[in-house]
């Protein structure tokens, strides 16, 4: 059966990026079968521009901003493809992006990571797939290194959802993105839960996308720090098997302690502490989710341990400088 591919783009006040994004989607050598834009109650002129310039795009309007995770879910639920691409509104696809990914549409792969380059520095990598540290911190493979250093397909923990492709069967089995994440780490959480169910991800270096990284929230904004550090706690406590959670809990504590002092220096200690307070406030509901995730897990504890990065700080630095 030939693949039917939908693409879901979530938008919130992204008018300045949407035209090049949608133009790149429409310029694919292998066309998408369906293009869906989910708008999270934008207050700019995004929707007017899309309806005027891109009438072939199906628009789903949401009455209030539900966040990136739930926006993706709404688009996925409305889509018909047996493969679903998720794309940030500030990303631009190379014309052969989808064609190159579909060359690897076979077992054992269930989701695919693309080579995401900085739009401002297209010879430099933003993400060559994502990895997961034992402390529950996701990080981008190859971040800041030369694009010429990533030329071979290989298995990775999961994709960065700025430009990713998923089998619908994976999205249905996992339940999609967790809306409680709102934004940031929603892809890391989905990656972890998918891996626990035995799904595998392939990095495809010929599938190139260009990303205006953190264009809407900023690298050290309150939003970035708050959701990033609250949601990394969610990932650690929800997805980590119990034996590994207990084993790596001291490292998690040291990670949080080091992060706190880092954000004191950056003037974001209140944002960081607020993230931890909100995590604790939602801890009971998180544990309920954890029970469901761990009950459905098919990988053994040993298998999970093998796909996590242990010497996480050294490996993170190495991944960036290699």
Cβ-Cβ contacts under 8 Å for 35 (sequence gap 6 or more): 6, 7, 9, 22, 25, 26, 54, 56, 57, 58
Q: Specify which residues 11 forms β-bridges with.
A: 39
Per-residue pLDDT of the chain (322 residues), as tens digits, is 578 999 999 999 999 999 999 999 999 999 999 999 999 999 999 999 999 999 999 999 999 999 999 999 999 999 999 999 999 999 999 999 999 999 999 999 999 999 999 999 999 999 999 999 999 999 999 999 998 887 899 999 999 999 999 999 999 999 999 999 999 999 999 999 999 999 999 999 999 999 998 655 556 789 999 999 999 999 999 999 999 999 999 999 999 999 999 999 999 999 999 999 999 999 999 999 999 999 999 999 999 999 999 876 665 555 444 4
Domain extent listing, the chain:
5-211, 222-321
What is the DSSP secondary structure assignment for residue 211, as one 8-state letter?
E
What is the DSSP secondary structure assignment for residue 180, as one 8-state letter?
G
Strands (E), 145-214: 154-156, 163-167, 200-211
The length of the chain is 322
Counting beta carbons within 10 angstroms of the beta carbon of residue 318, is it exposed (0 to 12), middle (13 to 18) or buried (19 or more)? exposed
Cβ-Cβ contacts under 8 Å for 168 (sequence gap 6 or more): 76, 81, 82, 83, 84
How many whole angstroms from its chain centre is CA 296? Answer: 22
For 36, phi then psi, to 5°, come to -120, 125
Q: What angle do CA 286, 86, 192 make, to 5 degrees?
A: 35
Overall CATH class of domain 5-211: alpha beta
Radius of gyration (C-alpha) of the chain in whole angstroms = 19
Residue 304: CB atoms within 10 Å: 19
**DSSP letters for 70-119:** HHHHHHHHH---SEEEEEETTEEE-TTHHHHHHTT-STTEEEEEEEEEES
């Amino acid at each position: 059966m030939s693949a039917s591919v939908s693409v879901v783009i979530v938008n919130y006040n992204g008018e300045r990026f949407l035209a090049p994004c949608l133009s790149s989607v429409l310029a694919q050598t292998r066309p998408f079968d369906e293009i869906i834009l989910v708008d999270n109650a934008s207050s700019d002129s995004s929707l007017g521009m899309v309806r005027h310039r891109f009438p072939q795009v199906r628009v789903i309007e949401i009455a209030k901003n539900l966040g990136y995770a739930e926006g993706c879910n709404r688009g996925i639920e409305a889509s018909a493809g047996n493969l679903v691409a998720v794309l940030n509104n500030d990303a631009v696809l190379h014309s052969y992006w989808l064609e190159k990914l579909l060359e690897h549409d076979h077992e054992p792969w269930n989701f695919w990571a693309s080579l995401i380059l900085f739009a401002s520095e297209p010879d430099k990598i933003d993400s060559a797939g994502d990895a997961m540290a034992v402390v529950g911190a996701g990080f981008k493979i190859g971040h800041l290194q030369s694009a010429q250093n990533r030329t071979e397909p290989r298995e990775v923990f999961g994709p960065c959802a700025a430009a990713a492709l998923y089998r619908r069967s994976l999205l249905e089995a996992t339940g999609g993105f967790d809306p409680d994440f709102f934004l940031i780490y929603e892809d890391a959480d989905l990656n972890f839960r998918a891996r626990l169910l035995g799904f595998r991800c392939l990095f495809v270096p010929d599938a190139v996308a260009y990303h205006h990284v953190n264009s809407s929230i900023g690298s050290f904004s309150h939003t970035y720090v708050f959701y990033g550090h609250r949601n990394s706690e969610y990932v650690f406590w929800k997805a980590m098997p119990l034996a590994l959670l207990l084993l790596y809990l001291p490292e998690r504590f040291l990670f949080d302690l080091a992060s706190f002092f880092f954000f004191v220096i950056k003037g974001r200690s209140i944002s960081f502490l607020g993230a931890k307070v909100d995590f604790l406030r939602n801890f009971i509901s998180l544990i309920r989710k954890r029970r469901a995730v761990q009950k459905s897990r098919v990988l053994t504890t040993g298998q999970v341990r093998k796909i996590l990065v242990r010497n996480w700080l050294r490996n993170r630095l190495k991944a960036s400088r290699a």
